[in-house]
Chains A and B, each alone.
Chain A
């Protein structure tokens, strides 16, 4: 199980930037589709918010993957006292 945890850590490390790239490309694509002369149908603000929020979260996923790769989750603390 620890080997699986470790190698999946690599997946999480890759998944973070891949998810952000996907979101960014989606944002460019979808915002580009809207008619710029109709301000109210433009979803640029919504996409900017989504990117702003999910950027630190994907960074968190990378750190999570890094910890997993380093074996930090091989043995979890038995009690919060150990933290």
Chain B
């Protein structure tokens, strides 16, 4: 006859502890949240977060046009670098937003904090759409935009941690990766929406009108989206775990102190930053932002073509956020994220080299090219007797590729014609190359889904409820906002150094991702903390 061995007292205590804890948790969740309501929670949280990302990314997607509006006409490349610097400023203040609003979220609750961030974000985006250009108010224009951009950054710093925490605290413990991955789709979908609105507005208004004032429409449209989202969020309830903590009088009195003055917690903040979010940030912004900037500014692709490529890539890859989020519930978060970083390190240079090679006119078969008659334009340079002589020749190849050869010569009254170097721009790709580029962008965004899909669940599980908003927001926004957000700016800056190649800028994301991969591999644990109601 089989005889069961009597468990020891410790084992029996442990079993009863786990049983009671699990039972209480499920009782608590079922009391506070009807089963199908999790999708309402996700829907309402995701919509607001998506709109915040949309607001945040319109600026970057319009960097070239905004640069022309905010800086003097003769500023040239420095206008783009300065505009990217303003764009980057929004990222740099995100950790400060994480501290300010994270603290608020741990003190007064998740719901009202991310309502506030939504209003701040929407308001500042709307006002960017109203700022007069450099021609009208001089350097006040970039300064005002910088201030509004800083408010945007602060707001976003408070938003994401709140939304991720809110959803995670509603989600069943064995499917936290799956449910929080919906929040993870919002950043990419926000970018998708911003690109879509920009392309549609430009196509309706025409390139000239869009460059003149039409670029303001995507900013102004934000206010409508925010009103809808605020209305929906007003109807949401507070997070059940936070409400429970508040009812028990256990909320943190000083979240900042408890997060960063407590060594046990602070060491996890550092580990989350260097072992995960830092690498995740550079992979995210290389695959989605730098890629588009590279296609438009380095490869000189047509404005719409570069955005269509990204739109298709995003559309195909976005479902994988949920796939990898759900998969991380089964196999753990660590290796999926680190695998995404490793693939980025290996493949970035070959991918970007392909972008360069396939758009290089010197490597194209020009034997049967058709040259249209050049369009000639003369413009007087204000305040001088000199003028600019612009010649634009459109070249069309038999495979469907086309581009413009642009030459702007200065006709000086005293020194005659001063010829400038011919520039090739507005490249439109042949169909096979276009889809090849979509595939390469898709692959990069697939890596984004690997590093980003599971990371909300990973961060939420790392920290206790009463300081979760603050503790997870800071490493996320330093990693994603500072390391990631600075990718277009730093990579463009590196590529502008003397002796650099167009691929030199990639050393920044590759280096950061390598460091994060090493730290993550050695120090991170793949274990999931299923109980987050502590």
Given A64-B270, A73-B267, A53 and B78 contact (CB-CB distance below 8 Å): no
B271 interface residue per 8 A CB criterion:
yes
Cβ contacts A53-78/B at 8 Å (1 or 0 each): 10001001101100110001100111
**Shortest CB distance B487–A (Å):** 13
Nearest A-chain residue to B511, judged by Cβ: A19
B534 touches A81 (CB 8 A): yes
User: Considering only CB atoms and an 8 Å cut-off, how many residues of chain B contact the other chain?
Assistant: 44
Nearest A-chain residue to B84, judged by Cβ: A46
Nearest B-chain residue to A68, judged by Cβ: B523
**Shortest CB distance B244–A (Å):** 15
CA distance A72 to B461 in the complex (A): 19
B75 touches A40 (CB 8 A): yes
A57 touches B268 (CB 8 A): no
B482 interface residue per 8 A CB criterion:
yes
- Residues of chain A lying within 8 A (CB to CB) of residue B482: 53, 57
Contact of A78 among B72, B489, B498, B527 (CB under 8 A): B527
User: Considering only CB atoms and an 8 Å cut-off, how many residues of chain A contact the other chain?
Assistant: 32
Cβ contacts B221-243/A at 8 Å (1 or 0 each): 00000000000000000000000
Contact of B531 among A41, A45, A63, A79 (CB under 8 A): A79
Given A43-B493, A46-B81, A83 and B523 contact (CB-CB distance below 8 Å): no
- Residues of chain B lying within 8 A (CB to CB) of residue A76: 268, 271, 523-525, 527
A79 touches B267 (CB 8 A): no
B85 touches A49 (CB 8 A): yes
- Residues of chain B lying within 8 A (CB to CB) of residue A40: 71-72, 75, 78, 82
CA distance A53 to B482 in the complex (A): 8
CA distance A30 to B81 in the complex (A): 14
B9 interface residue per 8 A CB criterion:
no
Q: Is the interface of A mostly helix, strand, loop or mixed?
A: helix
A80 touches B462 (CB 8 A): yes
B532 interface residue per 8 A CB criterion:
yes
Contact of A1 among B72, B273, B522, B531 (CB under 8 A): B522
CA distance A30 to B273 in the complex (A): 29
B529 touches A79 (CB 8 A): yes
**Shortest CB distance B271–A (Å):** 7
CA distance A48 to B518 in the complex (A): 29
CA distance A41 to B518 in the complex (A): 37
- Residues of chain A lying within 8 A (CB to CB) of residue B534: 79-81
Given A40-B75, A40-B78, A80 and B478 contact (CB-CB distance below 8 Å): no
- Residues of chain B lying within 8 A (CB to CB) of residue A33: 498
Given A53-B92, A80-B463, A83-B264, A4 and B522 contact (CB-CB distance below 8 Å): yes
- Residues of chain B lying within 8 A (CB to CB) of residue A12: 274, 519
- Residues of chain A lying within 8 A (CB to CB) of residue B518: 8
B211 interface residue per 8 A CB criterion:
no
- Residues of chain A lying within 8 A (CB to CB) of residue B163: none
Cβ contacts B510-534/A at 8 Å (1 or 0 each): 0000000011001111010101101
Q: Identify which of residues 437-476 in chain B touch chain A, using a CB-to-CB cut-off of 8 Å.
A: 461-464, 468
A25 interface residue per 8 A CB criterion:
no
A18 interface residue per 8 A CB criterion:
no
Given A5-B523, A40-B75, A80-B461, A64 and B274 contact (CB-CB distance below 8 Å): yes
**Shortest CB distance B202–A (Å):** 28
B464 touches A72 (CB 8 A): no
CA distance A41 to B497 in the complex (A): 12
**Shortest CB distance B373–A (Å):** 36
- Residues of chain B lying within 8 A (CB to CB) of residue A14: none
**Shortest CB distance B392–A (Å):** 26
**Shortest CB distance B504–A (Å):** 13
- Residues of chain B lying within 8 A (CB to CB) of residue A57: 478, 482
Contact of B464 among A4, A41, A61, A80 (CB under 8 A): A80
B36 interface residue per 8 A CB criterion:
no
Q: Identify which of residues 253-272 in chain B touch chain A, using a CB-to-CB cut-off of 8 Å.
A: 262-265, 267-268, 270-271
CA distance A43 to B88 in the complex (A): 14
Nearest B-chain residue to A79, judged by Cβ: B529
B268 touches A83 (CB 8 A): yes
- Residues of chain B lying within 8 A (CB to CB) of residue A28: none
Given A72-B267, A80-B463, A61 and B78 contact (CB-CB distance below 8 Å): no
CA distance A52 to B2 in the complex (A): 70
CA distance A61 to B271 in the complex (A): 9
Nearest A-chain residue to B460, judged by Cβ: A80
Cβ contacts A15-44/B at 8 Å (1 or 0 each): 000000000000000100100000011010
B155 interface residue per 8 A CB criterion:
no
CA distance A72 to B262 in the complex (A): 13
B490 interface residue per 8 A CB criterion:
yes
- Residues of chain B lying within 8 A (CB to CB) of residue A4: 522
Nearest B-chain residue to A72, judged by Cβ: B267
CA distance A81 to B530 in the complex (A): 11
A8 touches B522 (CB 8 A): yes
Interface-central residue, B72, B263, B267, B273, by most chain A CB under 10 Å: B267
Q: Can you list 13 A-B contacts (CB < 8 A)?
A: A1-B522, A40-B71, A40-B72, A41-B78, A46-B489, A49-B89, A50-B490, A63-B270, A67-B263, A73-B523, A76-B523, A81-B464, A81-B531
13 more A-B residue pairs beyond the given contacts A33-B498, A46-B85, with a C-beta to C-beta distance below 8 A? A8-B518, A8-B522, A40-B75, A49-B89, A53-B486, A64-B270, A76-B268, A77-B268, A80-B462, A80-B468, A80-B532, A81-B531, A82-B264
Please give me the 5 A-B residue pairs with the lowest Cβ-Cβ distance, nearest first.
Answer: A81-B534, A64-B270, A80-B464, A76-B525, A79-B529
